[in-house]
Amino acid sequence: MTLLSINGVRRKFGDVTALDGVSLDIAEGEFFALLGPSGCGKTTLLRILAGFETLDEGTVTLAGDDLTKVPAHRRPINLMFQSYALFPHLSVAANIAYGLQREGLPKGVIKQRVDEVLERVGLAHAAKRRPQQLSGGQRQRVALARAIVKRPRLLLLDEPLSALDRKVRAEMQLWLKQLQHEVGITFVVVTHDQEEAMSMADRIAVLNHGAVEQIADPVTLYGSPATHFVADFIGANNFFSGTAVDDGLSTEVFGFLPARGGVTGPALLAVRPEQVSLTGDLLTGRVLDVSFYGGLSRVAVLVAGHDTPVLVHQHGAPRVAAGDAVKLGWAAEDAVVVRA
């Protein structure tokens, strides 16, 4: 069931178009990600949903009700800020109780719900502390607790993991996903980090220059990017340019290269490094460099007539050395042709 429906939303700041006709639907209970580089309009869209920004054109509805006319403090939507925005003069418990007090709930109910959520985020022992006395990961848990205790229809998370160090990040990533599953609230994460989006979200909308490039689940997004931008932005890719033909791409230098098609005219063939084998018969080249990453070896192959080295990933230890002559190949279903 569709919970949030965004339709043809446009927003301009002076001469800059932040959102250029964005449309997308988010289902009830979904973990959705808005992914894109900085300046792609994802933050503007988030602020429109939260009620801190207005739109020039288009509609936003939540469960069928027009959201644009509801002021921020009356929306059944909560936002977890990138800076967490914890109130420094209030204790952890008081921070979490703040939103419930605004609803005019009785004291007993507030205390019970605060205790409950503190327990859930594993911070029951820190209820009386001030935000400044907590670690980054703990602050994030408080910010999250403060938002979910309101039981919103929709929870917005602005770059939720960006302020955390690497180790805590991985932990929180897993935890966020579990938590979303447990509380059953619809999550919308805004992020520029494709790994963050891929690992947590059920579906991802990739934004670029204020427009949606593709909306799909992570596997589809990775395996069948719809545009050059998506193919380039998500994961590593090797690109070859030419003209789209049936079952592949026709190039001037390498002749026919096989791939899944669907487009016509000038096009790019994109193939992932892990799909390229060193035992094929499509291209010939010489190994430029080999780097070993433990479970993975990255091989860069110089192919005459191609201006960037072709990247190849091999499982385990490298089986080639720099200077070796190699032949590259891939299966047609592992490569995709996108519009140039």
Partner 1 sequence: MAMRRVPFFLTYVFLWIPILVVVGMSFNAGDSPFNWGGFSFRWYGELAADEEIRQGLVNTLIVATGSTALSTVLGTLLAVGLARHTRSKLLDAVATLPVILPDIVLAIGLLAFYALVQLTLGLYSVLLAHAVFGTAAVAAVVRTRLATTDPSLEEASRDLGANGFTTFWRITLPSLAPGVVAGALLAFTLSVDEFVIAFFTAGPQSPTLPIVIYSMVRFGVTPEINALATVLLAVTFTAILAAQRLTRLAGSR
Residues of this chain that interact with partner 1 (CB under 8 A) are 50-52, 72-74, 77-79, 81-83, 85-89, 98-99, 102-103, 132, 146, 150
Compute the least distance from the CB of residue 102 to partner 1, in Å. 4
Q: What is the closest distance, in whole angstroms, from the C-beta atom of residue 74 to partner 1 in the complex?
A: 8
CB closer to partner 1, 86 vs 278: 86
In the complex, minimum distance from the CB of residue 132 to partner 1, in angstroms, rounded to a whole number: 7
Main-chain phi, psi angles of 321, to 5 degrees: -125, 160
Query: Whole-angstrom Cα distance, residue 327 to residue 321?
Result: 14
Q: One-letter amino acid identity for 98? A: Y
State the nearest-atom distance from the C-beta of 181 to partner 1, in Å.
24
Q: Which is nearer to partner 1, 72 or 331 (CB)?
A: 72
- The nearer residue to partner 1, 86 or 338, going by C-beta atoms, is 86
Taking the least distance from each CB to partner 1, the nearer of 77 and 200 is 77
**Rounded CA separation 247/130 (Å):** 62
Instruction: Find all residues with CB under 8 Å of 155, minimum gap 6, and list them.
Output: 77, 78, 79, 80, 147, 148, 185, 186, 187, 188
Least distance (Å) from partner 1 to the CB of residue 177? 23
Q: Cβ of 272: how many Cβ atoms within 10 Å?
A: 20
For residue 166, the minimal CB distance to partner 1 (Å) is 24
Which residue number, 30 or 158, has a Cβ lying nearer to partner 1?
158
